[in-house]
Amino acid sequence: MGYKPVMQFHVGSDHGGVTLLDALIAEFEEWGGESGHAVLSRTGPAVATERVDYPSIAVEVCQRVLRDRARGAADVYGLLVCGTGQGVAMTANKIPGIRAGVVADGFSAQMARAHNDANVLCLGERVLGAGLAKLLLREFIEASFEGGRHANRVELIESLTRQHGEGS
């Protein structure tokens, strides 16, 4: 097996994703010693009764990811959880430099990284059980960007922002 870099995550959720995010953070803590993967920061409410708007959570997490990557930390990623994963993904993908994907199966989690070079993983608490979400996180972490023809496609996506401005 080839070298797999340690991945560090800025994580966040709205009130609809708190419980699942808690379970995923616990999983990181359990993996910590063996893998080195870590949570760098958490954004969002500590309890599900504290209502917040998911766009502000997604923006903050993505800004942290981009800030750390600009400082040379290529191993920094984002993990966002809301009720479906859709809202945080739509918000995240408005931010230039972010490639966020919602996944609900292992193959999609792998391909988000391997083919699309996703730097933010989005999950939905109301559509995934904790066990499946943990599996999806592992699949995302264990995948590597393949480059090659996929690098050209990722560049085509990035060019949309340059051509059409933010939010394209």
Question: Rounded distance, CA 23 to CA 59, Å?
Answer: 22
Given 10, 37, 62, 82, which residue is catalytic?
A: 82
Question: Rounded distance, CA 89 to CA 49, Å?
Answer: 22
Residue 72 assigned to a binding site: no
Q: How many CB atoms lie within 10 A of CB 115?
A: 16
Residue 14 assigned to a binding site: yes
Residue 85 assigned to a binding site: yes
Residue 10 assigned to a binding site: no
Residue 87 assigned to a binding site: yes
Given 37, 115, 122, 150, which residue is catalytic?
A: 115
Cβ atoms 47, 30 nearer than 8 A: no
Q: Is 122 a catalytic residue?
A: no
Side chain identity at residue 132, one-letter code: L
Q: How many CB atoms lie within 10 A of CB 158?
A: 14
Sheet strands side by side (includes 76-82): 38-43, 8-13, 76-82, 120-124, 100-102
Residue 138 assigned to a binding site: no
Residue 126 assigned to a binding site: yes
Closest CA to 110 of 81, 80, 147, 142: 142
Residue 83 assigned to a binding site: yes
Six-digit token pair at 112? 């988000």
Residue 15 assigned to a binding site: yes
Q: Is 164 a catalytic residue?
A: no
**Binding site for D-ribulose 5-phosphate: what residues are annotated?**
14-15, 83-87, 116, 126, 149, 153
**Binding site: what residues are annotated?**
14-15, 83-87, 116, 126, 149, 153
Catalytic center residues: 82, 115
